Structure 1
């Protein structure tokens, strides 16, 4: 464990420290919280560091140098920050490094050189993350946490000393997009895909059919209508059947009729005509002209 000459309990609240270097990593445009905070703390523990445990912003600079107000007489706060710089074992050429996790929900103010080129600074309001490698100064402020006696450091401002560059969105530099006439409204952020097992069931989109160049919803399958039996009674025409008996069926053409059968058939037909009151079977009137007696009954008769 490093031996520091200045402890946090000796710091004075609301004093500031300026430390300058090259931006190596930063999350300044949003607060690290929720699942992102959990994953960040797990990585810190795995690498032998203490977890933050609270929503925060973060910044790491390389080749870090404290900007002393009076180099010959550093303040306690400046000494405190200078002592907490560290060397990188993986990239010793970038040493010394300095990192800060600024707890809380407030975002630091980012200042960039004015477009007027007069040496003044404007506030960056793009809401975008600064790119790696920028020459920046971190402005730190001493504060006292509510539940602790020691003091802490908060990242109040980030001053950019060159034309700002921004972290690429989805691997594409927005400046390169703008050069091709593609200007984004706002800052696109990656969306975490939900696991397939946790994805809610959604209705499938309705397919479309193209008719005369226009797109219409495709016909959807529907249940076949159920036929309902009609309750209207079926009416049948009542046929008036004559009281006359049905005549005997004529024999088939290929059947040879005997004389007795023919005689019986003719007598039956004659009787049916007479009983039905047919004009053929009606009595004939007496002819007064020939003086004959009563006429014979009309019909077919056979004399011996």
Structure 2
């Protein structure tokens, strides 16, 4: 009878062990079901992560293509701007050449005007010289006529003297010696007075002719001085025109320099815009790269989760095996004790 409690206790221990084994198997089955669900969830998460990574890559590719297209559009705009600036520079060069041609033509026209003025002055001087020569010839003719007139007057005077002397001789024959002497003296005095008057008249005519020659020379000098003054006025006008043309040429050169500066500043601004676009593209690519790195880390974490889950399952199985081995050891100890008591 004393063996019955031991057998009952052993049976209870065995039933407890079997129940523990059943519980353990149930837990293992639940763990297997759970791990299957977790595994399915992990597979689903990996699939979702792969889709997200794929969509992220596609989005990054789309963003990159949009950025490349924007860069291409920007480069086309910059090329169009460069073409426009080249056309503007060509137009400025053409206008500069036209302005230089106009300045050259103006200088040629000024030279033609100056040569025309010089030719006019030469013609005027020739005319003045001709007038002077003509007036000199007229003056010489006047002097010659005065001399001829003086000679005629002198001949008339001589003839008058001869007639007078003949009359005096006749009178001398008729009158007495005293009366003849008185008449002769009176006649000689008359002749002397007449010759003095004729000489005074000749001197007066010579003085008038000299005055005419002097006035002609003065008139010629006045005409010459007037021509020189006109030439000085013309040369002053030409000098003023040259100063004005020089100022216009300087203004053209200044405007050309300003246009070149504007073209240079426009090119610099275009370069700044291009560099800004490139910098924006670099920043965008850096952000895309950072996003790709982040998504790669997330994908790596998603890939690591199944390994962690597998490690948890392995550790749980090891723990269950330890529990099972402990129960088997307990059963062996109990059976050993039962066997010893039976002996």
Shorter chain as denominator, the TM-score bin is: under 0.3
TM-score, normalised by the number of residues in structure 1: 0.19
Between structures 1 and 2, the one with greater helix share: 2
Higher alpha-carbon Rg: 2
TM-score under structure 2 normalisation?
A: 0.18
Higher relative contact order (CA 8 A, sep 6+): 2
